[in-house]
């Protein structure tokens, strides 16, 4: 299944991007570090879009009002989600914030059902429930946790998941509005349009309100280029996955990001997890397998 491979690749690439963005937080702040993802990722997205156009000569994109509406809504939600995630990483720890971000799983499956009419099997819904329960145990704030303020870190992590869940469904709808007959092409072109809106909007906001953040982004251009590359590659994989599958199963398989982030947090940020959290992680993986059978 192509969507599963795309989702696993997106999760791994996203961990790399998040790590690089976190390193930029000290100088650029959450909004500057968020801009990095979109501004430095845009050139790579443009290259992908050109390749997609060349490989899909029969595509007939429709840039309708419906497309622009859901694309803009998803773009704004993703900007807010990224900023909230970066704050959660500082306050609650890298691994825990990444796990809490996965709360977008039920928040992607439920709107997918009621708003977009995506249908999941009973087994898949049990997987959604198991994954959500495992995430709650895995990421519950505890005394001595890594991070400055674990409780508020949890709040920002959940807010991030909420916004990511909404944006994922919006991007799925944008691709279907653009070109339903060529979904991979539609996903990549939608990504390019969305990132252009995000880079322009957030760039103008910082130019007016926080030019120091822009200077910090420029000064850390080496890490910014790396974050942009990983961000564009991760986003392309996410867009392709939701073009081929409902958002609920995609977010469920994407939970594989949590154990990857736990390993990265231990290796690069000296964070540790309790045995109970490791068991919860196994429950999450079981839920992922069940959900992928939608």
81-123 residue pLDDT tens: 888 877 777 665 655 555 555 555 555 566 566 555 666 677 7
Residue 7: CA count within 13 A, CB half-sphere: 27
The residue that leads in pLDDT, 147 or 263, is 263
Look up residue 193 and give its two tokens.
């349009």
Q: What gap in Å lies between CA 121 and CA 287, rounded to an integer? A: 13
Q: What would the pLDDT profile of 263-285 be if each residue is shown by its tens digit?
A: 665 655 555 656 766 676 667 66
Residue 97: CA count within 13 A, CB half-sphere: 30
Q: Of 30-44, 104-118, 176-190, 223-237, where does mean pLDDT reach its minimum?
A: 104-118
The DSSP code for 165 is H
Q: What gap in Å lies between CA 236 and CA 63, rounded to an integer? A: 19
Q: What gap in Å lies between CA 199 and CA 164, rounded to an integer? A: 18
Mean per-residue pLDDT, 206-231: 86
Q: What would the pLDDT profile of 30-76 be if each residue is shown by its tens digit?
A: 788 888 888 999 999 999 999 999 999 989 999 999 999 999 999 99
- Are 266 and 103 contacting, i.e. CB atoms less than 8 angstroms apart? no
Percent of the chain with pLDDT over 70: 66
Give the pLDDT of residue 125: 72
Look up residue 109 and give its two tokens.
């499956």
Which residues, including other chains, have CB under 8 Å from residue 143's CB and lie 6 or more apart? none
Which residues, including other chains, have CB under 8 Å from residue 216's CB and lie 6 or more apart? 24, 27, 28, 29, 32
Which residues, including other chains, have CB under 8 Å from residue 14's CB and lie 6 or more apart? 230, 231, 234, 257
Mean per-residue pLDDT, 221-243: 85
Q: What gap in Å lies between CA 54 and CA 64, rounded to an integer? A: 22
Give the pLDDT of residue 185: 93
Mean per-residue pLDDT, 205-209: 91
Among 193-202, 223-232, 233-242, the range of highest mean pLDDT? 193-202
| Residue 6 lies in domain | 2-291
User: How long, in residues, is the chain?
Assistant: 294
Cα 113–118–120 angle (5° rounding)? 90
- Work out the pLDDT band at 254, boundaries 50, 70, 90: confident
What is the phi/psi pair of residue 79, to 5°? -60, -50
Q: Of 26-30, 138-142, 176-180, 183-187, where does mean pLDDT reach its minimum?
A: 138-142
Total-model pTM: 0.72
Mean per-residue pLDDT, 192-219: 91
Domain count, the chain: 1
Dihedral (C-alpha) 100, 37, 34, 190: value to the nearest 10 degrees?
A: -80
């Amino acid at each position: 299944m192509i969507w599963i491979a795309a989702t696993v690749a997106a999760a791994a690439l996203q961990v790399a991007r998040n790590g690089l963005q976190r390193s930029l937080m000290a100088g650029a702040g959450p909004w500057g570090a968020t801009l990095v993802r979109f501004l430095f990722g845009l050139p790579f997205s443009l290259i992908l879009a050109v390749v997609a156009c060349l490989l899909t000569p029969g595509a007939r994109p429709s840039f309708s009002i419906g497309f622009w509406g859901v694309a803009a809504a998803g773009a704004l939600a993703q900007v807010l989600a990224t900023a909230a995630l970066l704050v959660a990483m500082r306050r609650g720890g890298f691994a825990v914030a990444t796990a809490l971000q996965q709360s977008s799983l039920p928040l992607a499956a439920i709107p997918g059902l009621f708003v977009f009419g995506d249908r999941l099997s009973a087994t898949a819904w049990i997987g959604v429930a198991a994954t959500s329960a495992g995430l709650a145990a895995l990421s519950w704030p505890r005394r001595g946790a890594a991070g400055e303020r674990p409780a508020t870190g949890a709040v920002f992590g959940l807010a991030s998941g909420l916004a990511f869940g909404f944006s994922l469904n919006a991007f799925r709808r944008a691709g279907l509005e653009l070109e339903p007959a060529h979904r991979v092409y539609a996903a990549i072109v939608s990504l390019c349009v969305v990132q252009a809106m995000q880079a322009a909007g957030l760039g103008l906001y910082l130019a007016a309100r926080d030019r120091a953040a822009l200077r910090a982004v420029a000064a850390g251009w080496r890490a910014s280029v790396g974050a942009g590359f990983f961000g564009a590659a991760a986003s392309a994989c996410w867009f392709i996955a939701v073009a081929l599958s409902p958002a609920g199963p995609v977010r469920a398989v994407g939970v594989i990001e949590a154990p990857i982030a736990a390993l990265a947090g231990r290796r690069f940020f000296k964070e540790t997890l309790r045995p109970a959290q490791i068991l919860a992680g196994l429950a999450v993986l079981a839920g992922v397998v069940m959900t992928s059978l939608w």
